Structure 1
Amino acid sequence: MTGAPARQPQQDRSRATRGRLLEAAITCLAELGYQASTVAVVAERAGVSRGAAQHHFPTREALFTAALEHMTAVRAAEMTRQFAALPGGRPDTAAIVDAVFSLFTGIVFRAALALWLAAAGEPALREQIIGLEARIGRETHRAVVAMLGADESAAGVRETVQATLDLARGLGLANLLTDDSRRRAQIARQWARILDTTLG
């Protein structure tokens, strides 16, 4: 009877430590890049020992793969919050495009980009990232289809929804060095009109 209460705080501490490591990994990737984001650096940023970090993530690749999964959940939660804050029922297409475009800006996108670039040159990391990225891409695509209420059996709809994500990613890259928000907003408005025409 006395064992269960003792285990629960340990589980909570373990979960909290893991969460701090994932958040620190995202911040380090975004600010320092992959090469400088060693397990020791991430552990220090998270305020935990290197041993504790390696207990949760035995390899650097495991840490950053988990961080990418965590980033995806963070991005999905951000989008959900954005739509929950909008008045009324289904948001209009322009609001959906704005939300999709916003996924590809900020610290989470910068961290993901650092990881993609590293994966391109590191086979061990690439092997872990390829399948995960494919799943993330499918899940994001499905979420946008659902938000738009799109019928993918109609000609050109699937491709146009995917083009929305590809366009958002490209605009996110353009925003890395300078604030490109004004141009991005203009493109978002025009793209929303194109989506409306395609979706009928």
Structure 2
Amino acid sequence: MSATTRVPQEERTRAMRQRLMDATVELLVEKGFSGTSTTLVSERAGVSRGAQLHHFPTKNDLVVAAVAHLTQIRGSDLEAAVDRLPEGPGRTEAVVQMLGEHFASPVFTAALELWVAARTDPALLQAVGPLEQRVGRETHRLTVELLGADESRPGVRELVQATLDLVRGLGLADTLGDDARRRRRILKEWARTLDAALEKGGTPQ
């Protein structure tokens, strides 16, 4: 087979896998883990069952690949949001609001479905756990950088982690209904607390 024939085939295969991954994420959001099946994924992606089973023989194979795909999407979404952040006054609020929106997005909902399923599925946990730890570390590092926080000062690391725990919790609440207005109010007040604490270099008194 010539190179000119092989490259288009590789591109078609890559495009097909991308459609399968996108369909898996969409179905995780719409139907949850238990309602997501390989049959539904192949139908949504417009891929034959035979082709899908060739690349992902089982549901767990498919979902594990989707975990990696989700990790990339979450990283890309955060990078895009970071580029829109303002400098100067108001930056702290912009950062926490950006994080709040990220953790209330459909991508977070899909990831949440995987976390819940992994709790009782050792094979899935083995795939989800390390990637989620990596996402957590990267998100923490990025938050420190965006806030200009000095974690060598007492209490600052805990404040950053509290910020991330807060936005994750608000994201979880959002899965039960649109809570955007309440989320924005809470994060606005938290940004004020955070600004004051970071200026003092530690936990609010």
Task: Please give the TM-score of this superposition, normalised by the length of structure 2.
Answer: 0.88
Give the corresponding residue for 1:148. Answer: 147
One-letter code aligned to 1:77: S
Give the corresponding residue for 1:27. Answer: 26
- Pairs within 5 Å for 1:119-158: 119-158=118-157
Contact 2:140 2:160 in 1 (8 A): yes
Q: CA deviation at 1:88?
A: 5.4
1:195–1:54 CA distance, 2 compared to 1 (3 A): farther
- Whole-angstrom distance in 2 between the partners of 1:180 and 1:146: 28
Aligned length, in residue pairs: 199
Q: Is residue 185 of structure 1 aligned with residue 184 of structure 2?
A: yes
Task: Please give the TM-score of this superposition, normalised by the length of structure 1.
Answer: 0.90
Larger mean CA deviation between 33-42 and 47-56 belongs to 47-56
Percent identical residues = 50
Give the corresponding residue for 2:171. Answer: 172
- Pairs within 5 Å for 1:20-169: 20-86=19-85, 92-169=91-168
- Whole-angstrom distance in 1 between the partners of 2:104 and 2:43: 26
RMSD: 2.0
- Whole-angstrom distance in 2 between the partners of 1:90 and 1:62: 47
One-letter code aligned to 1:157: V
5+ long unaligned stretches in structure 1: none
- Whole-angstrom distance in 2 between the partners of 1:34 and 1:122: 12
1:88–1:140 CA distance, 2 compared to 1 (3 A): closer
Q: CA deviation at 1:22?
A: 0.8
1:101–1:51 CA distance, 2 compared to 1 (3 A): same
5+ long unaligned stretches in structure 2: 200-205
1:33–1:192 CA distance, 2 compared to 1 (3 A): same
